[in-house]
Amino acid sequence: MDFTSSEGVSPASGGPLTDILRGLRLDGVDYGRCDLGEPWAVLFPAQEAARFHFIGRRGCWLFSPSRQWQELKADDALLLPRGAEHILASAPGVHAVPIESYSIEPLQDNVYAVSNGGYGAKTQLFCGSMHFNLGGSHPVLAMMPDMMRARDLMADEPGIPHLLEAMASEVTGNRAGSGGILARLADVLAASIIRSWVENGGDGTTGWIAAIRDRDIGRVLVAIHRQPHRNWTVEALAREMGASRSAFAERFTAIVGETPARYIARLRMHQARQWLIEDRMRVSVVAARLGYESEASFSRAFKRIVGTAPSHLRPVNGTSDER
C-alpha cells in the first residue's frame, strides 16, 4: 500500500508531508481471520514487521507493550508499527498461548483461518503482519508510539469510521472472498492510522514530526529526501530555506534534534539499506550512488549508523543487480 496511491490514503495536507510519505510503502505479509471461543489469550511475540488487529464481534483485552491491561471495544483497530510483543485475551489473566500454537488453516493466498476450538462465547478478530519498505529506524517509524488505536485518531481522520464499519461488516458476514477484502481494508486502515498520527499526533514541538510541519524546515527535508545522494552543504541547505548558514543550522538542530549532517548521514544509510536488501545491489554500486569515494569509506559509515556491515544485509541466494 503506497501512501500516495489513488485509493484515498494520500495525505490531504499536501506539501512536505505528501513528499515525505511518498517514499513510505506498507505491504501485507500475512493475515489471520480469528474465531476464538472463551477463554482464550493469544501471545504475539516481538517481530520486525508491524502488527495490525481489528476487533470484530465482541470486545477483548490487550496486554500492551507498556505492560498494562486495556479493554478493547468491538469495531476498533490497533497498529503496532514496530511489532512489539503483546497479548490479546478474552479477559485479563488468562494463560496466553503463542499464535503459532493455534489451529491455522489456509483460506486464500496469504489469508489464514485461526481458531482455538473453544466452546465459549466467540470473539472475532482480523490480524495481520505488515512490512514497511523502510527500516524501523527511519525518522517517521522511529518516532511512532509502540501502539496506535484507530478510535483515538478517528476524530482527525474522517475515513477511519467508514473503514471500521466496512471491516466489521466483512468480519461478521463471512461472505465469499471476505478474507481478501479484509486484507485490503486492513492495509488501507493501517495507512490511514499512520497518516492521521503523522498529521496530528505527537506533542508537535520538536523532532521529525515538528520539522515536517514547519514550513521552512519541511521544505529543506523534502529537498534532502528527494536527493539524498547529493553532496549537501550547510550553505546549499540554507539556500533552500532562504536563510543564513548560521540561522539555518541553529533552527534545523533545534527542531529536528540533530545536525543537518547527522540527519543526512542517517537518511543515506536508510536508502542504502533499501537498495541492498530489496534491490540486491552490490555494496560498491550503493557506495557510488551515494557519492562515496570508496566502498571501504561507505562500509565504515554504514556500520557506524546501522550497526552492521552492509555486506551482511545482502541476500545469500540469488543474483545481485548491478544497476
323 residues of the chain, pLDDT tens digit each: 555 443 434 434 445 566 666 656 677 788 888 999 999 999 999 998 899 999 987 899 999 998 999 999 988 999 999 899 999 999 999 999 999 999 999 888 788 889 998 889 999 999 999 887 655 556 667 777 889 988 888 777 778 888 888 888 887 776 777 788 888 888 888 888 887 887 776 555 567 777 877 888 988 988 888 888 888 999 999 999 999 999 999 999 998 888 999 999 988 888 888 888 878 899 999 999 988 889 999 999 999 998 899 988 765 444 444 44
Record the cell numbers describing residue 82, joined without a space: 514496530
The CA distance from 188 to 95, in Å, is 33
Residue 319 burial by Cβ neighbours in a 10 Å radius (0-12, 13-18, 19+): exposed
The CA distance from 194 to 148, in Å, is 8
In sequence order, what E strands does the chain have? 26-37, 41-44, 50-55, 60-63, 69-72, 76-80, 86-89, 97-98, 103-108, 111-115, 122-132, 148-149
Cα 38–Cα 168–Cα 11 angle in degrees, nearest 5: 130
Task: Report the predicted TM-score, pTM, of the whole model to 2 decimal places.
Answer: 0.72
Residues 109, 177: contact at Cβ < 8 Å? no
Record the cell numbers describing residue 88, joined without a space: 490479546
The CA distance from 154 to 164, in Å, is 10
Residue 67 burial by Cβ neighbours in a 10 Å radius (0-12, 13-18, 19+): exposed
Residues 38, 123: contact at Cβ < 8 Å? yes
